Homo-oligomer: A and B are copies of this chain.
Amino acid sequence: MAESSPIEQAELLAQEKAVQAAIGDRPLDFLSLNAVSNIYRAAAAVRRRAERDLLSDYGITWGGFTILWVLWVWGEMEAAPLAAECNLAKGTLTGMLTTLEKQELVRRTQHPGDKRRVLVALTEVGHNCIEELYPRFNRQETAFTAGLDDDEKVDLARLLRRVITNAELSES
């Protein structure tokens, strides 16, 4: 189904059409191009929308929300795996935890028996916050996937999972 018989041009995004018009004659992998570039585009749209419509009401940034969410799901954990789980550099996490600590949403405690390590956990306030916030966030997630049936949502998650494992390979 190459360029000769495209997939309903009418449904392509303007960006995708411009790509084909500008560089469609080159030996590039356009299927991967569209798939990957749409990943980033979707992520940016989702993030912006969540920050604007929801998180700003709580004074929480996207990164902060991610941290609260991970701590909610995983429970108390050390800084290094928390950073990995949030897709953050450990240096970034330090600053954001300080912010969240000022907001009294998380707390840091020393690891018993290893003074290098730090344990991070939700405070009571933080726990209540994410308990209240996440269901609203989840309704947004539902809205973002409106028009997809259950099988398609499962497919989307599965296809992305593949990309994630491919891209995270051999990461520091």
Contact = CB atoms under 8 A, between A and B. Distances in A.
B142 A32 contact: yes
A46 B167 contact: yes
A46 B38 contact: no
A139 B36 CA distance: 11
Contacts of A28: 134-135, 138
Specify how many copies of this chain sit in the oligomer: 2
A38 B144 CA distance: 13
A160 B41 contact: yes
B45 A168 contact: yes
B45 A43 contact: no
A122 B47 CA distance: 29
A144 to B, nearest CB: 5
Interface of A: 1, 7, 11-13, 15-16, 18-19, 22-23, 26, 28-29, 31-49, 72-75, 85, 87, 134-135, 138-139, 141-148, 150, 152-168, 171
Contacts of A72: 22-23
Contacts of A13: 161, 164-165
Contacts of A164: 13, 38, 41-42, 45
A54 to B, nearest CB: 12
9 contacts: A32-B138, A33-B141, A36-B145, A42-B43, A46-B163, A144-B163, A147-B162, A152-B159, A156-B160
A163 B23 CA distance: 25
